[in-house]
Structure 1
């Protein structure tokens, strides 16, 4: 996945801060995402549970696993998956403290600066990413373009936190941004 293709040389984060990415070279190539679409939340949770169990079976410690969602409203989906996998977990807050032996759940907003060997990016449904309420709150085309740009950037940054494994899931219909990840 190439950052310039998704973000362009200059990007804004969700707080409106601008960064210039020209001349930036990553020494890491992220994993190819496994993108799965499900008919319902139960199917998504079951699949993420199996994916988590596979990571543990490979010998991955729980603290090297992150489960991300767009906002607090979707955290229950992530909690259901880790509970079904019987993984110890905690929900990260603004202190963003990782605890040895415990999987981390958080919103995409807290993902910047973190790194995990494996990440499950859940609830990438249409109207969740981009968040429908943000789209409905804009008055003109320039603002709408900015919302789409920051929402796409939010998903991209969260996905780039995965070092070895990345699973992206949604309930049908999925986010229009998932097409960007498949190229």
Structure 2
């Protein structure tokens, strides 16, 4: 397509652009016509959780000086957004030097402060999470309006135990073909991107889980360590901002190092 003059599209709109890889960006560039406004990207550096950063300019896509920041948040309450924003720096810069300033964002509605519980053991954490789910159901939340997320497959059993104790039906991402089913969605944080729930419960936000110890132990140098920690922060940010009205975060003591930032909002 790169050498063809008859391109298949006049304009291309790309969402979640922060997680494009080299191959995807090259493909989009090759099928886009040559006019300067042929490609439109929407993304958030703070939600990059799948790809390592690389130079877009080096692949022929230069967005420097051509970007704008959207500062109105329609999904998340002021209280949840304010807490989640503390996980990220006030400004983020991509490989090509384009800076994204994150201050000044506003939400269009108010809500409850996030609830954070660091318990002595897994049994106590499950009991707290169970009560949070029961309270939401008593307050009129439908099961399908609830999302329960953990860092990895290793923590899913704790979340299932809390849902079962609360009498809450759950479904996995594999079961999402039937989106009308009255059940809460259960899965890992990476799969939460793009979704929205009235209540989000994030469980097992433990030390050694966020950031994930196995990722930390595999780093080769300080640069890679910084990138891994940043990506883990961004993963928690993505999961937390799936919540519209209520955010509950639980952990076993001492809890993730990231929780202090959330708690100090």
**Does TM, normalized by the shorter one, top 0.5?**
yes
Shift in Å, 1:128: 0.2
Alignment of 1:34-73 (within 5 A): 34-73=115-154
Alignment of 1:147-158 (within 5 A): 147-158=228-239
Q: Are 2:192 and 1:107 equivalent residues in the alignment?
A: no
* 1:142 counterpart (223, 238, 241): 223
Checking the alignment, whether the CA contact within 8 Å between 1:96 and 1:110 is kept in structure 2 is no
Q: Are 2:175 and 1:124 equivalent residues in the alignment?
A: no
Structure 1: gaps spanning 5 or more residues: 1-8
**Which structure ranks higher in relative contact order (CA pairs < 8 Å, sequence separation ≥ 6)?**
1
TM-score (norm 1): 0.88
Say if 1:98 and 1:123 are closer, same or farther in 2 by CA, change over 3 A.
farther
Partner residue, 2:73: 27
Q: For each residue in 1:74-114, what CA deviation from the matched residue of structure 2 results, as whole angstroms up to 9, or x when unmatched?
A: 00000000000111111224968644311110100001100
Structure with max Cα Rg? 2
Shift in Å, 1:73: 0.5
Partner residue, 2:156: 75
TM-score (norm 2): 0.61
Partner residue, 1:15: 50
1:96 and 1:39 mapped to 2: Cα distance?
A: 38
Q: Let me know the Cα RMSD of the aligned residues.
A: 2.3
Give aligned pairs, total. Answer: 175
Partner residue, 2:169: 88
Q: Are 2:257 and 1:176 equivalent residues in the alignment?
A: yes
Q: Secondary structure at the match of 2:159?
A: helix
